[in-house]
Structure 1
C-alpha cells in the first residue's frame, strides 16, 4: 500500500519521488522487512523513549492527539508519528514537539531508502523506519505511535515493549488487507478486525481498550491472554460518561476525574479523550497529573476531523465543516453531529470505499449532494451516489454552485480531499 506526497523543497521532493516508486510485493505479510531495514539502521526502535502505541479503526489519531497534548501539558517532550498526512509529508513525523524540518526529512529519508534499496520496503515501512531513526537521535520523554493499518503486521508493531497499548473504536475498513483469508484467524469480519488490532499486545504491557460487544471483547481478551498482556477495558477496569455541563467524567481504581468537554468536535471524542486518560493512568512509566490531563483535553488539535473550517479563500464566510471519514462508523458519527440540521454535502471518495457509507446515515440531513474528484486518486463518479446528485470539478466550484441559503456545508469522504481543502484555504497543519 503506498501513498502520495509532494514538497516545495527540492531535496525533500527528490526523496518523495523515490518513495512513490515503492510497492509491496503481492501477498507479502509480516514484519521481516521492517525488522531487516531497522537492523541496517542500527535498530533505532530499541532506543526510543517510552512508547504509547494506539490502534483502532476510527479515533486512533484523535486518541494520539489527546495523548500528545496531555503529555506535553505535563512538560514532557514528545515524539509523534501518525498517518496519513493532510498537506505535507512532514506531518507524519513530529520530533520533540515540532514537525520534522525539510532538511532533516530529506536526510533521513535518503538514509533509509539507501539502506533498504534491495529489501523492497513499502512506503509506510520506509516512513516508520525514518521516524524511528530520527526519534532515536533526538532526546525526548515519550513517543506516541499510531498504527497505520491493522496492527499485527503493521510496521509500527516492531516495538518490543511499549509503556502501554490502546485500541480505539473498531469497525469494518480496509477489507482487502484486514479480511484476507488466513488459516487460524476469526471468520466473522468484525472479530477478524479485532484480532488484527489486538495483535499489538505485548507481554506484560497493559492493553487499554474501549467497551465492545461480546464477540469483539472475547477476541481481544483471547489475544491479550495469549501473549500475557493485562487487559484494561472500559466498563470493567475504567468508566467514562458525560458529567455536569458536558464535562467528561472518568473513574477507575485510582479514583474519579472530571475533565472539561474535549477540544475536538463530536460526541465520539468523549471516548477518544477517555481512552487517552485511561492509557496514561494504566501505565507506570511516566507520571501525568490530573491537571495536565485537563489542560490536554482542552488543547488537543487534530485537523481534518470534524474540523470547522476557518474563514478563508476557499470557504469565504460560510459555515463549512471538514471531515476525512469514509466508513459507516464515520457516517454514523457525522449523522449524530448534524442531527436536526439540514446541510449541503460535498463528497469525494476513493473508488475502493462504499459510497453509501456517509450518504446513508446522513440521508435525513441532506439538502444536496455534490460529488467532486479526489485529486491524484481513483475516485467514485457522481453515478455511484444515485440520482439527483450534482457534480463539480473541484471543491471551489462545488461551493460556488451552492445556493446562498445559510445552510452549513460538510466536505467529507477522504482525508486526501481534506488535505486539499486545508491547502486551498491556507490552513496548514503545524
Structure 2
C-alpha cells in the first residue's frame, strides 16, 4: 500500500487526478487534529477550486467531514408518545433571507419537528443566529442534552453547530481567507456535512441564484442543488431542493432585529407576500418529505398557531418577545428625487450597505450590531412620488452611514415602467 502524505495528495489534485477514499479520509482527519498544516490544506483547497472533484470524491469528502465529529441521533425521542417527524431546511445564503424564523414554527404547527444547526453571518449574507440573538435573552448555545429535551418539549431547536463536523468549521474559515469560497464541491460538502450530522431524517434545500447569492449563474446553482440532493439521498437522508431568486432582497428588511420584526409580521398573518410565499412553499416540501399531509401551512399563519409555536421556541431558548427589539440609535432615510415606478434593486448593494452599517462581520467572531440594517420602503414595480422614502438605514455608529449610503448609490433607480421580474421559485429539484 502506498504511503499517504499531504504533498502527494496536493500534487495529485493539482495535476487533475482523483483522490482515493483513503487519501480523503487521511487529509480530513489530519487537518482536523492538526497533523496537516494550514498551508497544506490551503494549497489543496486551491487545487480543488481549480480542478474540481468527481461526484465520488465529493461524497467521500462530505462523509469524512461528518465523521470528524459527533453525529446526532434523535430517532429514540418521542413527543406525545409518538416518534418525531424530524426534518430540516437549509438556505445557501441570501439577502433579507429571514425564512427560517417563520418557517420553523409553521412546520411545528403542522406536526413536524425541526433540529436545526444554524450559522452566523459572514461577509454579505446574514446569519440566522445573529438575527435570533437580537431577541433579548435568546441563546443558540445549547448542549446536546438540552437540544434533545427541547425537541421533546417544544418540537424544535435552533442551535449553533458546536462539535458537529469540526473539519468543516476549520476548512470554512480557511476558504474565506484563501479565495476558495465559491468552489461548488466545497460549498456542497460544507453544507451537507453539517446537515447530515445534525440528526434530521429529511432535508429541504433553498438554493439561491442571482446577484445576492454566492453563485450568480443559474446553471451553477442548479448543479449545486443537484449535487447536494444526490449527497443527501446517497447518505440515506431524503433530500429535495427549491431553486429560488436572489437578484433582489427578500422582503423589505435586511439586517438582524429588523428581519425578526418582519418575521413577526408574517407570523401575525401579514408581511411581504414573497416572504409568505417562500415560507409556505418550503413548509409544504418539508412536511411532504416526512409524510405529513392533509394540513395547510398557510392556515397556521392565519389562525395564529405558528405564532404560538414561535413563542414557545423563543421562550425555551431564553428569549423574551415582550421586550422591544433593538433599533440602531442613528438613522438616515434615502428619498426619491423623481416620481415614477420603483425599478430594480440590486440585492448585493443592499447587503453591502447593511454590512457597512454593522449588521454583518468581516471575520468569524467579530461582533455585530443587532439594531443595524436597512428597511426598504418601495419594492420593484411599486409607484413612487418625488420625495418618497425609499430606504431607511439604521446603525449605532453614525460614522458608518456615509459608506453605507455609497453602497446604495447604484443599487436602485426610479423609472417609467416596472422592471421584469422572474418568479421567486424558479424550479424544484429532487
Question: Relative CO higher for 1 or 2, CA cutoff 8 Å, sep ≥ 6?
Answer: 2
TM-score normalized by structure 2?
0.40
TM-score normalized by structure 1?
0.40
